Amino acid sequence: MAAPNGHNARPRVLCPEKLSQDGLALLRQTLDVDEKKGLTPEQLIEIIPDYDALLVRSETKVSADVLHAARKLKVVARAGVGVDNVDVPAATRLGIVVVNSPSGNIQAAAEHTIALLMSMARNVPDACASVKAGKWERSRLVGVEVKGKTLGVVGLGKVGLIVARMARGLGMNVVAADPYASAAVAAAANVTLVDSLAALLPQVDFLTIHTPMLASTRGMLSSSELDTMKRGARILNVARGGIVDEVALLAALESGQIAGAAIDVFTTEPPAPDSVAGKLIAHPRCIATPHLGASTVEAQENVSIDVCEQVLQILAGDLPRSAVNAPIILPAEYKTLQPFVKLVEKMGSLYTQHFTSPTQPVGHNLNTFDLVYEGEIAQMSSTKPLFAALIKGLTSPISDAEGFNVNIVNAEMVAKERGIFVNEQKSRDPTTLAYSSLVTLVARSPSRAPSLNRAGNDARTATMGATEGQASSKQHIIAGYCSDNSPFISRVDRFSTSFVPDGTLLICHNYDSPGKIGLVGSILGKEGVNINFMSVAPATFASSAKTLPAEETNEALMILGVDKEVGEHVKQELVNAKGVLNVSSVTL
């Protein structure tokens, strides 16, 4: 559907690899999907700025260069398990969600492993090629049985466990090495878990690898490990090329230390014929497949639907179920949090615009923020979206909006870089709130415990560790609540109020004396500024003592919703007016 201006208004998805149409059809209902196969890295970098989502399998290298070239990319979706072809730290830094399909193809990968195991044991590929060539070589092609043999599984995760169960079904003894595997899960599958790879290797007749490609697993099986195996053992790798060192494996095949290898994955895919991987493939005792572990009709349907659903969720502003670089939050909780996400972002933005300046920027002096949740909102198990919303609110008024996308993915990193510390607190006090939930933001210096006095002076010393007698100038407080899913600000420092934080607002701090409203109204009218709403906020919270001192009771905030930005000269004129102490304008 084209927008009236001729531009395509629908979000765009780039799919540079073969993905099942089952998922793509879901996307096509609301998004534009471009299937463009065979892109070079340079071509990908050139076109990626146009896309909101990128769908890949294992062939596309989603490098930092690709991610930096993107302009509006929100999600990289990996239709499969391994995300080693995606620069996840770079995506995180840029606030781009990376999702995968953690279980859509695991059965396929496990079945392929068993197919290779049996093919290797019975020389099936060689026998097939021989008989097709018109030969009948029964004595050359005698195999071995797997029953009664020991299979070593390195990585007893999702794929490794399915392989282990199937191997048990074939009558094999299964021994596994995985420092993070559950002993109970292993025992339930009749798998003997050993302490280390070193303990595993000398025992096995067949070895199968099912770990992810990580810095710690790259080259995990090199010549020193292969040498500790029984002479004539056989190796399978359906995980990632390079976990078994290709040079070492080729040498071990040539020396006869390893009797056979079955390999689905290579360090470079497709491997060049004259590379080490190419020589490995050509070796007569190696059987090889072109990264087919996930290539079944069923697995491809599963992963495609899985990641396409997540792309739709992310582009709709929801959290996906399998993000690699974002927290998992229950959908019901996420829905409840949504209005508060908006509120907290507005509170952060109000803080930065109203209380900071280029000489006293966010994080400069008051760099510690207590974010206090009371009421229903305090019951949420994860408040990570609220934390992210605060960081976004605090930083976006002072950032280049184009290139700066703070979200749940990169909020922690941004906070760290800006020297902002957030201390989230859930009040467990039996609450006497007027609203079902209240969120309070206290900006303070790191050393200073917050002082948060409520109207009626019920200083919350229990939950806040408040110290009476601290000067209000050393901290700032903004509080808010949600009503009918709309955010309201209920407190700005000592002043209690109730306004919707939306649009351009003028915040005038003045003496609460008659005539102020008329005075401000006439100055703004003269400048052609229309006032949409006005809220007078009396000082009801004590700044530093249990009772509100007289000199503080005659001050007020006047919050005006205006229809346009107000120039510096107008603000100056307002400040020059009698009884107006200061004026700030904020856009929320």
Ligand X SMILES: O=C(O)C(=O)COP(=O)(O)O
Ligand Y SMILES: NC(=O)C1=CN([C@@H]2O[C@H](COP(=O)(O)OP(=O)(O)OC[C@H]3O[C@@H](n4cnc5c(N)ncnc54)[C@H](O)[C@@H]3O)[C@@H](O)[C@H]2O)C=CC1
d(CA 214, CA 217): 5
Which of 53, 156, 167, 250 binds ligand Y (CB under 6 A)? It is 156
Backbone angles phi, psi at 39, to 5 degrees: -70, 140
Report CA-CA distances (Å) from 430 to 247, 321, 380, 426. Answer: 67, 34, 16, 12
Instruction: Copy the structure tokens of residue 324.
Output: 């690699």
Q: Is 269 a catalytic residue?
A: yes
Q: Which is nearer to ligand Y, 106 or 508 (CB)?
A: 106
Task: Choose, from 291, 354, 454, 491, the residue flagged as catalytic.
Answer: 291
**Nearest-CA neighbor of 193 among 174, 167, 221?**
174
Q: Note whether 242 binds ligand X by CB under 6 A.
A: no
Q: Are 171 and 82 in contact (CB under 8 A)?
A: no
Instruction: Copy the structure tokens of residue 583.
Output: 């004026």
Footprint on residues 464-483 left by ligand Y (CB under 6 A): none
Task: Cite the beta strand spans of 61-171 per DSSP E.
Answer: 75-78, 97-100, 150-154
Q: Note whether 104 binds ligand Y by CB under 6 A.
A: no
d(CA 373, CA 383): 9
Report CA-CA distances (Å) from 559 to 181, 377, 468, 492, 519. Answer: 58, 27, 29, 11, 14
Q: How far is the CB of 308 from ligand X (least distance, A)?
A: 14
Question: Which does residue 181 bind out of ligand Y, ligand X, none, counting CB within 5 to 8 angstroms by kind?
Answer: ligand Y
Q: Which is nearer to ligand X, 57 or 509 (CB)?
A: 57
Q: Is 42 a catalytic residue?
A: no
Q: How far is the CB of 85 from ligand Y (least distance, A)?
A: 10
Task: Tokens 């002082």: give the residue.
Answer: 451
SS3 180: coil
Which of 82, 242, 385, 393 binds ligand X (CB under 6 A)? It is 82
Which of 265, 303, 409, 477 binds ligand Y (CB under 6 A)? It is 265
Distance of CA 552 to the CA centre of its chain: 46
Q: Note whether 155 binds ligand Y by CB under 6 A.
A: yes
Task: Choose, from 93, 240, 491, 509, the residue flagged as catalytic.
Answer: 240
Q: Which is nearer to ligand X, 80 or 480 (CB)?
A: 80
Residues in binding contact with ligand X, number by CB under 6 A:
11
Task: Cite the beta strand spans of 379-499 per DSSP E.
Answer: 421-426, 437-444, 475-483, 486-492, 495-499
Q: Is 509 a catalytic residue?
A: no
Question: Which does residue 217 bind out of ligand X, ligand Y, none, counting CB within 5 to 8 angstroms by kind?
Answer: ligand Y
Amino acid at 384: K
Which of 58, 150, 410, 540 binds ligand X (CB under 6 A)? It is 58
CA end-to-end distance (rounded Å), the chain = 31
Q: Note whether 295 binds ligand X by CB under 6 A.
A: yes
Q: Contact region for ligand Y (CB under 6 A) — 208-216, 336-344, 387-395, 515-523?
A: 208-216
Task: Choose, from 137, 269, 417, 565, the residue flagged as catalytic.
Answer: 269
Query: Which DSSP string do the residues of 80-102 spell out, in sequence order?
Result: SS--TTB-HHHHHHTT-EEEE-S
Question: Which does residue 239 bind out of ligand Y, ligand X, none, counting CB within 5 to 8 angstroms by kind?
Answer: ligand Y
Contact flags string 28-57 toward ligand X, x per CB under 6 A: -----------------------------x
* Residues of the shown chain interacting with ligand Y in the complex, contacts defined by CB under 6 A: 80-82, 105-106, 109, 154-160, 177-181, 210-213, 216-217, 238-240, 264-265, 291, 293-294
* Residues of the shown chain interacting with ligand X in the complex, contacts defined by CB under 6 A: 57-58, 79-82, 105, 291, 293-295
Catalytic residue numbers, as ranges? 240, 269, 291
